[in-house]
Each structure stands twice: as structure tokens, then as C-alpha cells.
Structure 1
Amino acid sequence: MKTINELTEAQSYFVASASYISFVFMALPASYIINKIGYRKGMSLGLAIMAVGALVFIPASESRTYWAFLAAIFIQGMGITILQTAANPYVTILGPIESGAKRMAIMGIANKTAGALGSLIFGALLLSGIDEVKEKLETISDAQKGQILDEMANSVITPYIVMAIILFVFALLIRKAPLPHVEAVPIEESMDGESEKTSIFQFPHLWFGVMTLFVYVGAEVIAADSIIAYGISLGFSGEEAKFFTTFTLMAMVATYILGVFLIPKYIKQVTALKASATLGVVLSLCIISTTGYTSVLFVAALGMANALVWPAIWPLTLEGLGKFTKTASALLIMAIAGGAIFPPIYGRMVDAGKHELINLGVSEIDAWAAAGTSSYWILIPCYLMILFFALWGHKLKSWSKN
């Protein structure tokens, strides 16, 4: 997208923002929809809307218009919002809350394995030969450049048509599947049988969970979406760097598998969250302190720190919310917008750091590499917030004790 639409580093990260910002706009409507139609139909509707978004890539690529691409991604994000708002609480409350992280980890294995395969497939289809194309674009006329960029844009049509067909098929399969009906365990009851809590604002652990998920998703998206550009800035070719995202995702999958076997039999989900946050801080410091392939591997290793955060936050946040579970789920989904906020901030930090170093006489290549490395400090406060939630935030069930 950066090459096709001739974007700056910061602008290129709005590709991710267009998807993640949809969680803010669609989460509460998604909660309303799911309250009306239920979890199963909600998941089916989400998949269908994602398919529509995939089809919008066709006119976007034909016109090679940046806002049209962003609109297509935003529509897909709306579908993902409905899907996530239905699927995450459904899986969390499908069994004992103590093993919720285990079930979420199983989902994560499927999710990230598909993500790794997707990056490999789309990398092969869309990034093959991109280094040569970028070099060629610098030496040809504007008319020739437009023709080449049009051909690159058209290359996304077939993959997204296939994606749309698969999503429509799965929407139908989920709609017809005999999935069990479940609801969350109610919150504590008073002596007369009435709930003691009347509003989601009476659950501080919910709001700390929302803030924690917000910074976590931002950290995860930076780790996954910046690693290719970061590798290229360090001198790796596009052909080499296209595999780096897969390293991150496979690190997550390996840790998910550990979570399935360890939680809750050997370790509690809150213990896994504490370990993940601590590891995230350590790895972030290692990224900043190293360079070259070693630094790239530390970025990829963030997959291990990130894997069990999402599975642990959901059950720890939704525990005891009862009838407020669907609304709380919508708030957690809105927190995914952290993925829209933090990556562009990282991109702007890289741009600003690079320009500052160039003004000091550093070569453009060295400046890009140095700025990309140092800007990863933004991850440290994110992991510290996760650590706070793991240690204290999830325990705060009331604002004050009576």
C-alpha cells in the first residue's frame, strides 16, 4: 500500500488504523445487535460484512485511490467488530471462567496460524519483486510510473475475491451450525434476590481491563506491523523481510500452545499475564539495546510476550459481570482501537527521529535504522500498564468497600 499510493512512513500505518478505528464506531452498535440476534447470528453477520469489505477492494484497486482502500478496510473492520463482540465472550463463558484463557488460547492458535499463512501468501502475491519495482520507479517517467503502480494495485483483486467467497461460505456455515446457547454467570445477588450492581460504571476492574486491552493491542500491532519496515530499514531486502511478520505470529502460536497445556492446570491465567507483561518490558529494552538481525529477532519474540495477554484479559475482565457481559464485551472491543492509535504514533516517531538525525549529518539509511530502533521505547509503558492490571487492577471489583 505504501508503494502503490506513494505514502510516507506515518501515512502507511493508517492502513492498520482504518481497520482498528472501526472498533470504536461499531462496538456499541454491535453489542445492541448481538443482544437482539444472539451470539451465533452475530458471528455470521460479522463474517458477511467482512466479505462485503473484501469486495470493495475491487473498485479501490481499479481507481488506485487511497481513501477507497481505507474505506474497504474500514468496512471489513466493522464486520470484525461484530464478529469479535460475539465470539470472544461466547468462548469465554462457554465453560468455567478459570479456564477461559485456555479456550481463548485455542482460538488464538487458529487465529495466528491463519495470520502467519496469510502474510506468507499475500507476501508472495503482492511483495514479490517489490524491491526492483521501487528502484525502477525512481528512474522512469510519471506516465510509466502510473502504469506500473496501476498493475500493482490490480494484483490485489483476485486475492480479495477469493477472500470474499471464503467469508461468505463461513458466514453460512456458522449460521447453520448447532452451537449451544450460553449466558454469563450472574453477578452477586442481594438478600431480596436483586442484583447489587446496577451499572457497568460500578465495576472498576472492567475499566482497568478496557485500558489494558487498549495499550496491549497497540503494542501487538506495532510488533506485527512494523517488523517488515523495520527489517528493511536495517538493510534486509523485501524478499527477506516479508517473512519477519511470520516469525512474530509463530512465536505467538507456540506460546498459545503452551497456554493450552498449562492453564489452568499448572498456572493461573493471572500468573501468565504477569509473566507476559514482564517479558514484554525486557524484550522492549533488548530491541532498543541491539541492532541488525538480533534486534529483529527480539521484535519477533514479542509474540511470546503478547500471546497470552488477550486470552487472560478477557476472563479476568468479564468475571462476575452477568447481564452486563455483552456491554462489557463491546467496551473491550472498542479498546482494540489502540491498534489504530499506537502504530501511527510509532510511525511519526520514526519519521521525526529520522529527519532529526539526517539534519545532524547522518545518512538516510542509518538514520532510518536508528530511529526505527529507538522508537520502540513506546512499548515499555504499554507493558507496564498490563503488569499493573495483572498485579492489582483485576482485583478491584468495587470502587469502595461498604
Structure 2
Amino acid sequence: MPAPMSASLDPSHHHAEGGSYRPALTLLATLFFMWGFITVINNTLLPHLRSVFDLTYTQTTLIESVWFIAYFVASIPAARLIERIGYRKSLVTGLAIMAAGALVMIPAARIPSYGVTLVALFVIASGITLLQVAANPYVAVVGRPETASSRLNLVQAFNSLGTTLAPLFGGYLILGRSTSGTSMAGAAALTPAERLADAQAVQLPYFIVAMVLIVLAVVIARFPLPAMGASVRRAAREERRGHSLWRHRNLVFGVPAIFIYLIAEIGVSNLFINFVSQPQIGNLTHEQASHYLFLLWGGMMVGRFVGSFLMQRIAAEHVLAAASILAFAVMMIATLATGHLAMWALISVGLFHSIMFPTIFTLGIRGLGPLTEEGSGLLIMAIAGGALVVVQGKLADAYGLQMSFLLTAACELYVLFYALWGARPTQALPDQQIA
């Protein structure tokens, strides 16, 4: 299976270059920021579209499911494209695809059309997939294998900076400029004229996003990135012969760990505004609730910086186990309590979710040696687990929004199982490293 080329970069090339990859990693941090920012705009967009199109929770979460289906559909073509046109051109192409999708949101808002909105978001997510397929394994192998989790958590912290700022951007430019966003939960239904005006509120923010992406694409096209395309070699077939991905327990259980964790993270973030707006929880408008979403993502940013520090001293799987236990505890409080206690419990889960994706990823590729490329590809494809947030939407429609978070609590228990047992490598091979 074609997979991220980045994991098999030629070590000798990097030794020769010394510290020349620090600027490249700084630029990659900018990409992590941007795709985090754009992904979390959806958290303010979803309650907005729920009001504009009068959607059920199932239909609302289907929007995010389409977003994450793109990871499954686009990851293999993305890996092939990287091999074909090289690293720099792939980054530029990914940003261009994202910009095109953002621009499609403008006519989708003018019509307005639920279907065209889904298409636009799928295009944006496909561009993000192209960036993800290369960037995550690249960061994981730049340096000593034992600090890979620390390193990826550090770079992912910039992703969380983007996710922290996005709710303020979306809250002001989308929810703050719409009737549905400034009305209390349970207010009278919107008139047709108000629905049209609200739908068109997304045009300006997505135009701004598209322009920023185009500028960033131009910067990367002109940036002196190392010429990785031709110099990268994949591990020889003979070297991989006799090895099987399925003999590595940390990968076999790591793929579902990523898949299941994404259900938890996306379910919390997408339904957060609707949850805290309820009269028995926070009794807030959607615009006001978006400010608390800022705290949820801010907790993820802080958690990744703290996690990066801790993992230089404590085994990554031990930190992951502690985070999963605490995440389970606060999700049970959010499910069973009411008022501000439930609201702050849900906000706090961001702190404990923070280290899960980058830590599971690096534990999953640990000891894969020449199989690191294929393993990385499977883990990136597992991000498609976010598409199953629609299951939580169905639970919310059937049993109530608050009770639907029992699904999130169950996801935390699988992460705990992975940290305690599933992450232990079997038949480990020499780790790949870029110095």
C-alpha cells in the first residue's frame, strides 16, 4: 500500500545538512496551525448550519462525517502524489485544494445549498489529508526515536494554537453576525429571510481563509525547502521481505486507537456549542458558547506543551494512560451532572485529549523499521474515524444530547487499554531516524 514517503528519508542526507531542517520544521508548524484552524471553524459552522437548514443532530454530524471520510478516500492518492511530484509541490497542491474548497463555500452560502456545502468541505478536507500524510511521519522521524512522541506533541501544539483561535474567528464572523448565533436556545424559528441572511454570513470568513491559504502556498513554493522528492528512497523490497505489519501489536491496536479516539475528539468539539447552550447546562447563545469552545481547544494546546515536556522524562504510554483515565472521569461528569459542573467537565476534556493523537501515532510506528511508511499510512487513514461522529448524532436524537457522551467515555477506555497493553511493541525492528 502506498504510504507517506516522509518516513523513509535518507538519514545520511540529513547528517550532511546538520541543522538545516529547523527552518523546514518551523514552516511545517505553520501548516499544522492552518489545518487545525480550518478544521475547528467547523465547530462554529455546524450549529450555524443546523439553524440555517433546520437539521437534526444526525444531519448536522453528517457534515463532519463527510469531512473525515475525505481522510479515508484521499490518503492513498495523496501518498502516490507525494511520490510522483515531490514534497514541496505536494504541500503547495494541498494548500491550493484547500483554498479551492474554501472558495466553493461562497456560492454554497449564496444559494444556499446543504449539498454544495458538503462538497466544499470534502474538498477542503482532501487538501488537509495531503498535508497530513507527509507532515506527521516526517516530524516523528526527525531526531531520536525515544523522543518522537515529545517532538510530535510539540509541533501538534501549534495545531492546537490554530484550533484555539478558530472559535473566536468563527464566533465573531459567523455566529456573531447571524440571527441564529445571537439568539437563545429555544427561540422562535428563523424566517426564510433570516435563514438566507444567516447562510450568507459564512462568505466573508471563508474568503479570508482562501486568501491566507493562497499566500501560504506562494510562500512555500518560494521557500528553500530541502529537495526531498528525488533524494528520498523507500526501503528496498528485499529489506521489507519477511516482515509483516500485522506482527506488530502496537500498530495493529494503534490503528483502531486512532480511529476510536477521533470519534471522541470530534464528537466533543462538534456538539460542544449545542451542549453548553442548553438551558440546563450553560443557558448561552451560540456566540457566547463559542468563547468557551476557545477554552476547550486552548486546553489541548496547553496539554500538548505539557505533554511534550513530560514525555522527555516519563514513558509516553504512561502519560497516555493517565490522560485516558482523567478523560473518562470528566466525560462521566459531563454526562451525569448539570449546570456549570457539566459544562466545565466537558471543557476540561480538551486538556486530557491533547496528547492522545500524536502519542498514539508515535507509539504505533515504534519498532516498525523499514515498515514505517506503510504503518504511517494506515494510521493516517484511521483519522477517518472522525466520520463516525454521525453515530453520536443518532444517539443524541434518540436518547438526548447529554447521554450521547457515554459514547465518548467508552472511547477513552479503549485508549486506556492501548496505553496499558496494546502499545507494547512485538517483533520490534531498528527504528528509522533523521538526525
* TM-score bucket of the superposed structures, by smaller chain: 0.7 to 0.9
Larger CA deviation: 315-324 vs 64-73: 315-324
Equivalents in 2 of 1:194, 1:154: separation in Å? 56
- State how 1:23-172 maps to structure 2 within 5 Å: 23-128=71-176, 129-130=179-180, 138=188, 145-172=191-218
Q: 1:64 to 1:336 in 2, by over 3 A?
A: same
The answer to whether the aligner puts 1:326 opposite 2:376 as a matched pair is: no
Distance 2:320 2:244 in 1: 27
Say whether the 8 Å CA contact 2:67–2:125 is kept in structure 1. yes
Comparing 73-82 with 119-128, greater Cα deviation is found at 119-128
How many residues get paired? 372
Q: Secondary structure at the match of 1:372?
A: coil
**Offset at 1:111?**
1.2
SS for the counterpart of 2:52 is coil
SS at match of 1:211: helix
Asked if 1:314 is matched to 2:340, the reply is no
Residue matched to 1:303: 350
Residue identity opposite 1:99 in structure 2: T
Task: Tell me the distance in 2 between the aligned counterparts of 1:380 and 1:211.
Answer: 16
The letter for the 1-side match of 2:302 is A
Shift of 1:24: 1.0
* Unmatched tracts of structure 2, length 5 or more: 1-48, 429-435
Consecutive unaligned residues of structure 1, counting only runs of 5 or more, are: 354-370
- The residue number in structure 1 matching 2:264 is 219
Whole-angstrom CA distance in 1 between matches of 2:270 and 2:98: 20
Identity of aligned residues (%): 31
Relative distance call for 1:131 and 1:39 in structure 2 (3 A) is: closer
Equivalent position amino acid for 1:331 in 2 = L
- Structure 2: distance between partners of 1:251 and 1:136: 29
What SS class does the counterpart of residue 194 from structure 2 fall into? Answer: helix
TM-score (norm 1): 0.85
Which of 392, 395, 400 aligns to 1:346? It is 392
CA–CA separation in structure 2 for the residues paired with 1:256 and 1:183: 30
**Corresponding position of 1:360:** none
| SS, match of residue 395 in structure 1 | coil
* Structure 2 match to 1:357: none
For the 8 Å contact 1:186–1:322, the answer to whether it is kept is: no
Q: 1:243 to 1:184 in 2, by over 3 A?
A: farther
Residue matched to 1:177: 223
Letter in 2 for 1:312: T
Instruction: Give the AA of the match of 2:411.
Output: C
Distance 1:122 1:186, change over 3 A: same
Code of the residue aligned with 1:158 in structure 2: it is L
Task: Go from structure 1 to structure 2 and tell me whether the alpha carbon gap of 1:159 and 1:176 turns closer, same or farther (over 3 Å shift).
Answer: same
Aligned-pair CA distance for 1:279: 1.3
Question: Using the alignment, how far apart are the partners of 1:281 and 1:390 within structure 2?
Answer: 14
Matching residue's letter, 1:203: H
Q: 1:136 to 1:227 in 2, by over 3 A?
A: closer
Aligned partner of 1:209 in structure 2 is 254
Task: Report the equivalent of 2:30.
Answer: none
> Do the aligned residues in 2 keep the contact of 1:123 with 1:242 (CA within 8 Å)?
yes
Is structure 2 residue 65 aligned with structure 1 residue 17? yes
1:89 CA displacement = 0.6
User: What is the RMSD of the two structures over their aligned residues, measured on CA atoms?
Assistant: 2.6
Relative to the length of structure 2, the TM-score reads 0.79
Contact 2:250–2:366 (CA under 8 A) maintained in structure 1:
no
